[in-house]
């Protein structure tokens, strides 16, 4: 692998997660007791940054928090992970993003998000951080922050020859074509792939059709994660379903985020080791789903590399 660390910059969301463990999901009009309650770091952006950093990448973050207690808590958490926080703005009169997550005994989750500061920045704030973007191997973004900000970040990255990775989650009905034009790699799950391409993805054949559509939209590398089946990639005329590791999942929160962060930590910018990087991502996410919580469940490089 060499000891040259990838420089990964994540443009994205920072949430404080409030987690509840319940026997089963609550029904409308019903009151139930939770078995456990805890708060932890979350937000797709922050999860991906933590995953990249723990997997060995030199990681920077661009985003925003509110001037409040959850914001300070999240900044401390990210700082403890060794993530460069110079790209994070603290916004007065704004709440830090929060997510309320319920996980039942089957490992299913239901999530309600309050975006707060995650939606309080745009292209102007991104432009001020262009040095950080240009000094990266990869720039990663998701859909929990403003699209206009992401487009700007990807444009700056593209002009500097920096590769961009779009995680189109949570699913959007319509993805801006100007964003896809500056996206080098897209990593939807099967539901998100269907939302973007209109093709129902359930196996390798349907994933290949969806990937062809993503290439048409201007994206070079398509990776479609198909739950416990694994990750299908299609790049440069080569495609394959890389199987997932068989494990007993207790909580799938942050599985996709772990996959992307870990993969980006060892991926070569010319995508020449794509399959190896996907395997590394699969291994990392297989560890995440065996533990509770978002960021607390994300593995470290030595755990992923352990056979």
- For residue 24, tell me if it sits in a domain: no
Give the C-alpha separation, 97 to 95, whole Å: 6
Residue 137: pLDDT above 50?
yes
What number is the average pLDDT over the span 129-157? Answer: 98
Give the C-alpha separation, 121 to 90, whole Å: 10
- For residue 107, tell me if it sits in a domain: no
- For residue 38, tell me if it sits in a domain: no
| Mean per-residue pLDDT over the chain, rounded | 94
In 3D space, the residue among 292, 286, 49 whose CA is nearest the CA of residue 303 turns out to be 286
- For residue 76, tell me if it sits in a domain: yes
For the segment 196-214, what is each residue's pLDDT rounded down to a tens digit? 999 999 999 999 999 999 9
* Contact indicator for 104, 24 with CB cutoff of 8 Å: yes
For the segment 6-24, what is each residue's pLDDT rounded down to a tens digit? 999 999 999 999 989 999 9
For the segment 73-109, what is each residue's pLDDT rounded down to a tens digit? 999 999 999 999 999 999 999 999 999 989 999 988 8
pLDDT of residue 4: 74
What number is the average pLDDT over the span 170-174? Answer: 82
pLDDT of residue 1: 44
- For residue 31, tell me if it sits in a domain: no
pTM score over 0.85 = yes
Annotate 37-95 with DSSP letters as a single string.
EEEEEE-HHHHHHHHHHHTT-EEEEEEEEESSHHHHHHHHHHHHTT-EEEEEEEETT-P
- Please give the angle made by the CA atoms of 112, 210 and 256, to the nearest 5 degrees: 35
Which CATH number do you get for residue 72?
A: 3.40.1190.20
Extract the tokens encoding 116. Answer: 């707060």
- Coil, strand or helix at 220: coil
- Rg of the chain over all Cα atoms, to the nearest angstrom: 18
Binding residues, by number, are 15-17, 43-47, 144, 189, 225-230, 251, 253, 256-257, 282, 288, 291, 293, 297
Residue 114: pLDDT above 50?
yes
- For residue 173, tell me if it sits in a domain: yes
pLDDT of residue 45: 97
Q: Where are the alpha helices (DSSP H) in 81-203?
A: 123-127, 130-134, 147-159, 177-181, 190-197
Extract the tokens encoding 33. Answer: 């007791």
**Backbone φ, ψ for residue 279 (5° rounding):** -60, -40
For the segment 266-285, what is each residue's pLDDT rounded down to a tens digit? 999 999 999 999 999 999 99
Residue 139: pLDDT above 70?
yes
- For residue 83, tell me if it sits in a domain: yes
For the segment 219-268, what is each residue's pLDDT rounded down to a tens digit? 999 999 988 889 999 999 999 999 989 898 887 778 899 999 999 999 99
pLDDT of residue 297: 92
Q: How many domains does the chain have?
A: 1
Give the C-alpha separation, 215 to 19, whole Å: 38
Question: Tokens 């593995």 identify what position?
Answer: 299
- For residue 219, tell me if it sits in a domain: yes
Total count of residues recorded for the chain: 307
Annotation says 105 is catalytic: no
Name the band, by pLDDT with cuts 50, 70 and 90, for residue 174. Answer: confident
* Contact indicator for 224, 201 with CB cutoff of 8 Å: yes
Quote the domain boundaries for residue 214. Answer: 7-13+45-93+120-300
pLDDT of residue 2: 46
DSSP secondary structure code for residue 131 in this structure:
H
Q: Residues 135, 203, 257, 270: which is the catalytic one?
A: 257
In 3D space, the residue among 78, 63, 84 whose CA is nearest the CA of residue 11 turns out to be 63
């Amino acid at each position: 692998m060499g000891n040259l660390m990838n420089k990964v910059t994540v443009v994205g969301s920072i949430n404080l997660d409030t987690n509840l463990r319940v026997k089963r999901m609550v029904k409308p009009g019903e009151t139930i007791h939770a078995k456990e309650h805890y708060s932890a770091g979350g937000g797709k952006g922050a999860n991906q940054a933590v995953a990249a950093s723990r997997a060995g990448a030199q990681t920077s973050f661009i985003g925003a928090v509110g001037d409040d207690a959850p914001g300070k808590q999240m900044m401390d958490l990210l700082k403890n992970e060794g993530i460069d926080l110079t790209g994070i703005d603290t916004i007065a009169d704004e709440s830090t993003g929060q997510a309320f997550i319920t996980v039942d005994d089957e490992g299913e989750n239901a999530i309600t998000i309050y975006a707060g500061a995650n939606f309080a920045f745009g292209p102007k704030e991104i432009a001020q951080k262009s040095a950080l973007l240009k000094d990266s191997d990869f720039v990663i973004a998701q859909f929990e922050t403003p699209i206009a900000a992401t487009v700007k970040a990807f444009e700056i990255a593209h002009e500097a020859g920096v590769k961009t990775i779009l995680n189109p989650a949570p699913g959007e009905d319509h993805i801006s074509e100007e964003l896809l034009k500056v996206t080098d790699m897209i990593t939807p799950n099967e539901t998100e792939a269907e939302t973007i391409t209109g093709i129902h993805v359930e196996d390798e054949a349907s994933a290949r059709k969806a990937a062809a559509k993503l290439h048409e939209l201007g994206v070079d590398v398509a990776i479609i994660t198909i739950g416990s089946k694994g990750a299908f990639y299609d790049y440069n005329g080569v495609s394959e379903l890389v199987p997932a590791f068989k494990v007993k999942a207790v909580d799938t929160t942050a599985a996709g985020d772990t996959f992307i962060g870990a993969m980006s930590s060892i991926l070569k910018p010319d995508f020449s080791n794509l399959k190896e990087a996907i395997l590394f991502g699969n291994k990392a996410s297989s560890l995440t789903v065996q533990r509770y919580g978002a960021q607390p469940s994300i593995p470290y490089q030595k755990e992923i590399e352990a056979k």
